[in-house]
Structure 1
Amino acid sequence: MSKPTTGPFEKTAGWLDWFDGPSRPRFVLPPGSVDAHCHVFGPGAEFPYAPERKYTPCDAGKAQLFALRDHLGFARNVIVQATCHGADNRALVDACLASNGKARGVATVRRSVSDDELRLLHAAGVRGVRFNFVRRLVDFTPKDELMEIATRIQPLGWHVVIYFEAPDLPELWDFFSALPTTVVVDHMGRPDVTRPVDGPEFALFLRFMREHPNVWSKVSCPERLSVSGPPALRGERSAYVDVVPFARRVVETFPDRVLWGTDWPHPNLKGHMPDDGLLVDFIPHIAPTPALQRKLLVDNPMRLYWPEEL
């Protein structure tokens, strides 16, 4: 566990701590790049964590997120509501409002949300809702409630972000296929990277994207998927190499429907806390050409979250 530091990345040490010394990436991001998957946690004294949460993070607020954005070279953020805040989106909304238009949000809402509340979220910068199907993180919300929410947000032009694990895709396929909005899959549906990239499990995910042109995927979180792990030697920049074939396959097959994000501050991660500068250096391994890099980091997130600026 690292100790509290001073400066823009100052934090309070806690059970779920984040890496406080991110390196400068060697990969220079295209101008206008978007970190399309990150979070804010608290601070808990101002934005309390949900009583029903299944993990408790350390505080990681908007000031630290925006400092990291600038340090890494991103222009914008998409802040995704994490399960530790439940359906209380106040921390997310506060960060979006403080960003001067440089952040958009993906909220969690319940069936009881009013139309006025949805409009207020939209005005704050929210452009999607997240449905979480990872059993170790949340208790499943009934599918009829989720479908009702998806139908209600459709007129706002919002999309649905879905988080699930690869073995659950067959069971969830029909529900996902019926969603009336753009659908964004978190972290490629968490494939098992010890299996062949050409194997039947990942082929099913690729077929899901191929058969549903409204489905996008984030090619993020190699630190969650990898078995090989981070670099073993200080100064080495090649990391999470076992994830590369999977993410690169998605990027090259669906270049107009992919997004990338840091996942900062890496909630509920076991084993190690990644260096976010190293994660940025992962990008050219999965998007090897300038054209693919621009689609992944600029064109696609702008089209989804800031279409009024195009």
Structure 2
Amino acid sequence: MKAAARPAGGDPAESPPQGLPPAAHPRRPRHALPPGATDCHCHLYEDPQRHPLNGARSYTPAVATLRQYLAMCAAVGLERTVQVSASVYGFDNSVTLGAIAALGQQRARGVAGLPPDAPAAELERLHAAGIRGVRLSTSVKGYGGTDAIGAMAGRIRPFGWHLQVHVRGTQELAALEDQLLRTQVPLVFDHMGCVRGGEGVAHPGFQALLRILQRRDDCWAKISSWYRRSDSGGPDHADMRPLVQALVAARPERLLFGTNWPHPRLFDAARMPDDGALVDQFCDWVPDAAVRRRILVDNPSTLYFSN
């Protein structure tokens, strides 16, 4: 097996590129989401004077506040949230914890960035505050990469947390498949395993993701950020539809939905999606209302809100 990938690198002398703010007024979707619909992947970027950005980061975000996020959720029909602590904050999870505290744990939970040697007392504090997972990434600097899977799994197992795996490309999942099948904590795969639309369902990395979902009962994949992964482009993102449908056919009870608001690391305003349009696209691609409810409500309840 190939060596596990390490975090995204880059020249520390380069200035991180400046991201764009999200669309200010998303349109109301054609589809009404069910009560309890949950956004399982989103970020906040508060005032950098109060919440300094990590020096080693892959991008500089535009400010995107909890108030703005809640306005988007109200417009599109999302009622619960899973806040993913952004990589630009490194191991400082205060923005995420602040959002959970403001909304309450019946409405919000979180995923943290943590080093593998974080003290047990810190994990206990985060668990009490609503954190239910740790993110590792080879795509962005700030968290640590998939080489930390083994060490991190040992630390979080007593808390029942999951590892959230964010890779630069889906081919990494093929290289990691054996290890991921053996890892003794639940796994969550960001952005459909980060497959590109042009790679298609037959890509070895995407096939590895499908096998992991089918062979384990404690692994999950997020239907999110497909607009970024599409090679055919918007507004249809047609090359992503077969990938979503393959996941739904394989394991609908292990899928989650995420907006990826405020759509970080987009630098071309023409590519900034409308969140109402994304909700409609998801609903069009998953036409069965019972399956949509499972993905939007039941699955998040099991993974994030059951303890």
TM range (shorter): 0.7 to 0.9
Q: Does 1:39 align with 2:43?
A: yes
Conserved? CA contact 1:26–1:281, under 8 Å: yes
Q: Which amino acid aligns with 2:123?
A: L
CA RMSD of aligned residues (A): 1.9
In the alignment, which residue of structure 1 is the partner of 2:103?
Answer: 99
In the alignment, which residue of structure 2 is the partner of 1:183?
Answer: 187
Equivalent in 258, 263, 268 of residue 265 of structure 2: 268
1:13-24 equivalences in 2 (<5 Å): 15-24=19-28
Q: Which amino acid aligns with 2:90?
A: G
In the alignment, which residue of structure 2 is the partner of 1:202?
Answer: 206
Identity of aligned residues (%): 37
1:275–1:65 distance in 2 versus 1, CA, 3 Å: same
- The one-character-per-residue Cα deviations of 1:87-137 (angstroms, maximum 9, x if unpaired) are 110111111111123110000101232111111111211111101122xx2
Helix, strand or coil: the match of 1:69? helix
Q: Does 1:110 align with 2:109?
A: no
Distance in 2 of aligned mates of 1:51 and 1:200: 35
1:1-310 equivalences in 2 (<5 Å): 15-101=19-105, 102-134=107-139, 137-138=140-141, 141=144, 145-164=148-167, 165-231=169-235, 239-271=236-268, 272-308=271-307
1:145–1:92 distance in 2 versus 1, CA, 3 Å: same
Conserved? CA contact 2:133–2:163, under 8 Å: yes
Distance in 2 of aligned mates of 1:57 and 1:273: 14
TM-score of the superposed pair, with normalisation by structure 1: 0.86
Conserved? CA contact 1:16–1:56, under 8 Å: no
TM-score of the superposed pair, with normalisation by structure 2: 0.87
Q: Which amino acid aligns with 1:148?
A: A
Helix, strand or coil: the match of 2:209? helix
List runs of 5+ in structure 1 lacking aligned partners: 1-13, 232-238
Q: Which amino acid aligns with 2:124?
A: R
- The one-character-per-residue Cα deviations of 1:236-274 (angstroms, maximum 9, x if unpaired) are xxx222211101110221011000010000111244111
Structure with more contact order per residue of length (Cα contacts < 8 Å, sep ≥ 6): 2
Distance in 1 of aligned mates of 2:146 and 2:281: 36
The alignment covers a number of residue pairs equal to 286
Conserved? CA contact 1:251–1:286, under 8 Å: no
1:270–1:171 distance in 2 versus 1, CA, 3 Å: farther
Conserved? CA contact 2:174–2:205, under 8 Å: no
Q: Which amino acid aligns with 1:120?
A: R
Conserved? CA contact 1:244–1:285, under 8 Å: no
Give 1:140 shift: 8.0
Give 1:145 shift: 4.2
Helix, strand or coil: the match of 1:262? coil
Conserved? CA contact 2:30–2:280, under 8 Å: yes
1:142–1:299 distance in 2 versus 1, CA, 3 Å: closer
Conserved? CA contact 2:196–2:229, under 8 Å: yes
List runs of 5+ in structure 2 lacking aligned partners: 1-17
Conserved? CA contact 2:53–2:88, under 8 Å: yes
Give 1:191 shift: 1.4
Give 1:142 shift: 6.6
Give 1:201 shift: 4.6
